[in-house]
Amino acid sequence: MNLPPTPAFLAERARYQLRHTCEDCAHFVPREGVCAHGYPNALHLRRAFLGVPLVGIFCKEFELA
C-alpha cells in the first residue's frame, strides 16, 4: 500500500513511534532479512523509510510481533 510521506504522517510516525516496517513484523526472518511469506521486501524495510524522498511502502501482511 502506497502512502505519500506527508508532513502529517512524518510527524505522527515520530510522535507515536509507529511501527510499520519489516523489522517490526511477526513474519520477518531477521537472520536472512526476508519475509517468511517470500514477498519481496526491499521497499518495506526500515531503510526505505529513512531516505529523502521516502520510497517505502506498507505491506498488507504486516502483523505486529
Which structural domain range is residue 49 located in? 1-65
What residues pair up with 64 in beta bridges, in sequence order? 25
Read off the pLDDT of each residue in 45-51 and give the average, rounded to a whole number. Answer: 85
Lowest mean pLDDT among 16-25, 26-35, 44-53: 44-53
Q: How many domains does the chain fold into? A: 1
- Enter the C-alpha cell of residue 58: 506498507
Half-sphere exposure of 39 (CA within 13 A, CB side): 17
User: What confidence category does residue 31 fall into, taking pLDDT thresholds of 50, 70 and 90?
Assistant: very high
Q: Is 59 helix (H, G, I), strand (E, B) or coil?
A: coil
User: What confidence category does residue 42 fall into, taking pLDDT thresholds of 50, 70 and 90?
Assistant: very high
Which run of H or E residues covers position 11? helix 7-16
Query: By the 8 A CB rule, do 42 and 28 touch?
Result: no
User: What confidence category does residue 41 fall into, taking pLDDT thresholds of 50, 70 and 90?
Assistant: very high
